[in-house]
Structure 1
Amino acid sequence: MKFSNSLVGFLNFLTLLLSIPILGGGIWLAHRATTDCEKYLQTPIIIVGAFLLAVSLAGFIGACCRVNWLLWFYLFVMFVLILVLFCFTFFAFVVTNKGAGEALSNRGYKEYKLGDYSNWLQKRVTNTKNWNRIHSCLIDSKFCQNLAMDNKTSSEEFFAKDLNPIESGCCKPPESCHFTYQSPTVWIKNSSTTNGSNPDCNAWSNDPNALCFNCESCKAGVLQNLKAHWKRVAVINMIFLVFLVIVYSLGFCAFRNNRWSNARHRPQWKPYA
């Protein structure tokens, strides 16, 4: 067996093994999910697991058993995947180019404004259906619980904290509201100093299940977090694209080997003398 066939078969065997726990995890989540956040994750996990399983089987059988039509299908799917990943990586860099935190005087954390981010990202997050899911995930994950447990933290200590974007946007009111600090997740509204032009000031609640989860600052914090993740994913995708191109080239060599081998072993017709 040619080297390219062996290597493609080996790589797809590894991917096949990887797809089994991914698919199993998605199925398990589908039966055990109790929150909207978990239910939202189950479908993409099952799709990714099933896709990897099908493509890996096609590549493994096509390369090792010299089934040319399966290898052709494998190469076609790989080409589409490379094209999609390239487009997504380029798109991710474009839509995450805008938006950054605003540094505040005498504060260890930054604040984030929704309008600073790309219109496409804003529309995805502010969409009612999408935000309800994100909101549910934030509550289910008890994202602000660590701050709430620090109820003995003084105002000076809290203002010096390096909060992450979601903690800054969702777990406390915006700085412009000028609320009086009581604890990290409890603030007293002061009508004489509250910024009436900022709707987040009215949206704030000391209820641990509400806080600023419906604030624009919270959506901006989610976008900043999403932007950071997308940039990391885009860099990983670039590395993965190089790997996929190499595997695709090996798969194409294996496809040619199969055709050559099939042609060599095909019985030749000879006319009767």
Structure 2
Amino acid sequence: MVVEQPKVEAPKIKAKPKNTWEIKDRVYYLKNRYKPLSYSIKTSNLYWFDPEKGYEREIKYCQNQRTCFVDEMKGDQRLEHIVFRSGVLFVEKEKTTLQKFLSLYHPLKDKLFYEYKPVEIASNQIDRLELEADAILMARQMDIDLAEAIMRVEKGSNVSNMSSKEIKRDLLLFARNNPDLFLELANDDNVVLRNFGIKAVEENILKLSSDQRYFLWGSNNRKIMTVPFDEHPYTALAHWFKTDEGMEVYTQIEKRIN
């Protein structure tokens, strides 16, 4: 009788991650355009969480060491000051340890200072410009009712006294200067319904009670809806217009509104 021996699989060797660090000169800036004559940042008693090892490792920058990890250092540890001059620090490509200390491990990176990355900045600028272009194009093609509704969110009751050309002008400026909010409002159907409700009140077709708890017919003071507690009256009215009862009232108002 032959007894088969269990096969033992050879352990798989994990491929070492590729070194993606680019050797180049790097420039660092203090955030918020802070530009003192000189500014030193902390270089010791710092910790960085190592996701591979699963614990925090102490880091410091020493001129005579090839690593910034204390547990990998050998011999004397001569601490080196890191000083920004007029808010800027230029680090030559030969100082890889310092660059990695600043770009990868320092706990204040992107909080107190940041690495200047022109490609990343250009990419962000392109995204922003494309967003502005989308917003402006939508504003140019937008009908006046939706334009008025959006500008009422931005300017309030002043919109009632503006001409259509003034609304269109301010809409284009709003789209250019705040494209995120503009696109959000343009895709929110409640904005149009809120504006519809406001116009109905302005033209005395509806009334809002003094305590802002009820909407009533302007002609006979008959209550049509109660505003839920802690909700904006016109937001509540916009939601109510979507109900069966609200749609009937909406149709009646639509026939009478100018």
Q: TM-score, normalised by structure 1?
A: 0.24
Richer in strand (by share) = 2
Richer in helix (by share) = 1
Q: TM-score, normalised by structure 2?
A: 0.25
The structure with more radius of gyration: 2
